[in-house]
Amino acid sequence: SRRSSSQKFTAYLHSILNFFFIFLSSWWTEVQMGPPDPILGVTEAFKRDTNPKKMNLGVGAYRDDQGKPFVLSCVRKAEAQIAAKKLDKEYLPIGGLAEFSKACSQLALGPDNEVLKSGRSITIQTISGTGSLRVGANFVSRFHNASRDVYLPKPSWGNHTPIFRDAGMQLKAYSYYDPKTCGFDFKGALHDISKIPEKSVIVLHACAHNPTGVDPRPEQWKEMAALIKKRNLLVFFDMAYQGFASGDIDRDAWAVRDFIEQGHNILLSQSFAKNMGLYGERVGGFTVVCKDVEEAKRVESQLKILIRPIYSNPPMNGARIASTILNTPELYKEWLVEVKDMADRIITMREMFVSNLKKEGSTHNWQHVTEQIGMFCFTGLKPEQVERLIKEFSIYMTKDGRISVAGVTSANVGYLAHAIHAVTK
């Protein structure tokens, strides 16, 4: 600093005087302290806990069998390839990295999909799944004048609600989870959907429903597709776990592809946070399936106009990694193996969890733990039981009894089963 000490002192006096001026009149006096995020709040509490046996089954990020974050080897290889190219850091187009968007849509729809061949869809790169959903919500709010209503399954991912609400839509719900069976309330869902007013938006979780892990079976999806078409609803698919649910990317995208075949011109959000472990790089895609190429061009132009005043253009690094993996045959193959391994480990943990509960002597029916799919499991535990698990066993999960199976390892599954048996026997 080039100022003299007397200048510094004067400035300091000034700031003291102005401190008092401002103290009397502040812009943000009325701003209330907001509640902590329910999911991220779990991790904060976990971090403060000093119990060596503590388990964080809150946030949905994959852990390996040592409980450590896992960076995929195909990701490391892609990074090395990218670094070697010494690419510049020029702005991406508003809609993102073109090679990424193309590969992203091909992954979801299948490379031979009629929609892609005819060019009648537009896919843009987004800030992971949340960014994709919000761009979609904003788009619907601006252009889907026929209805303000968005129907979410009950329950749904907590963040869906503020995403659509802050975008100006109204939230409604359709029955989905049956707490009695810890499974899919198929009858309830069909019943509610049959009453949804025409042209409303309906959000469907493509696979590995969050938070319940309960997915419809193919024949159930088919009935839902027919009914949704009859009700003339606008389908918005949220696919955050393609490959991560069953271990097979085509199987996990089956519902999306079938709906398109049945003639639904869907909206689709994709995330690469989990299936490529790219969480913090924020990689995702948003797709609008249109009537034809001309409509896709109009929609694209409006998406760009919408995005430019939110963040101008998306972050390049994660998209380059995902694009490199999707477009380099050996890396793509390696990725498929790694995502299957992650899915398989989850499935193994579900099985071990149930067998350990039986070993503990639990007489409850834990069938749902192995029937549910994906990262999460809706245990069926009540809030009081969840509270006990936190306080007495330092096992952290969200209040709704949702556990992230990714946080379970062969080393701690026994402790988990013991604790859950203790609070449910």
Site for its own copies in 270-289 (CB under 8 A): 273, 277-282, 288
How many chain residues are in contact with its own copies, going by CB under 8 A?
86
Query: Footprint of its own copies on residues 42-61 (CB under 8 A)?
Result: 59, 61
Least distance to its own copies from the beta carbon of 67, Å? 13
Which residue among the candidates 149, 185, 215, 274 is catalytic per the annotation?
A: 274
Report yes or no: 388 and 423 within 8 Å, Cβ to Cβ.
yes
Instruction: Write the DSSP string, 254-295.
Output: HHHHHHHHTT---EEEEE-TTTS--GGG-EEEEEEE-SSHHH
Contact region for its own copies (CB under 8 A) — 87-95, 177-185, 359-367, 411-419? 87-95
Restricting to residues 132-151, which ones interact with its own copies according to CB under 8 A? 134, 143-145
**Least distance between its own copies and beta carbon 169 (Å):** 12
| CA dist., res. 54 & res. 395, Å (int) | 6
Residue selected from 298, 333, 364, 425 as contacting its own copies according to rule CB under 8 A: 298
* Contacting residue, 109, 124, 127, 150, with its own copies by CB under 8 A: 127
Quick check: is 335 catalytic?
Answer: no
Looking at this protein, which amino acid is placed at residue 369?
Answer: V
Q: Judged by CB under 8 A, does residue 92 bind its own copies?
A: yes
Q: Is 95 in the site for its own copies (CB under 8 A)?
A: no
Site for its own copies in 218-247 (CB under 8 A): 234
Binding positions for its own copies, 154-193, rule CB under 8 A: 159, 162-163, 165-166
CB 188, min distance to its own copies, A: 27
Q: Is 69 exposed, middle or buried (CB count within 10 Å of its CB: 0-12, 13-18, 19+)?
A: exposed
Within 307-326, which residues bind its own copies (CB under 8 A)? 308-318
Task: Indicate whether 34 belongs to the interface with its own copies (CB under 8 A).
Answer: yes
Active site residue 238: yes
Among 4, 5, 6, 33, binds its own copies (CB under 8 A): 33
| 19 interacts with its own copies by CB under 8 A | yes
CA distance readout (Å), 5 to 15, 17, 19, 139 = 15, 18, 21, 56
- Beta strand ranges found along 112-264 (DSSP E): 121-127, 149-154, 170-175, 177-178, 183-184, 201-205, 234-239
Report the DSSP pairing between strands 183-184 and 201-205: unpaired
Q: How far is residue 82 from each of residues 5, 76, 303, 316, measured CA to CA in Å?
A: 50, 10, 29, 11
C-alpha distance from residue 113 to each of 109, 117, 351, 362, 424 (Å):
6, 6, 36, 48, 48
Near its own copies by CB under 8 A, which window of 89-97, 202-210, 238-246, 341-349?
A: 89-97
Check the CA dihedral 12-13-17-18 and report its sign.
Answer: negative
Closer of 151 and 415 to its own copies (Cβ): 151
Q: Annotated catalytic sites, by residue? A: 157, 238, 274
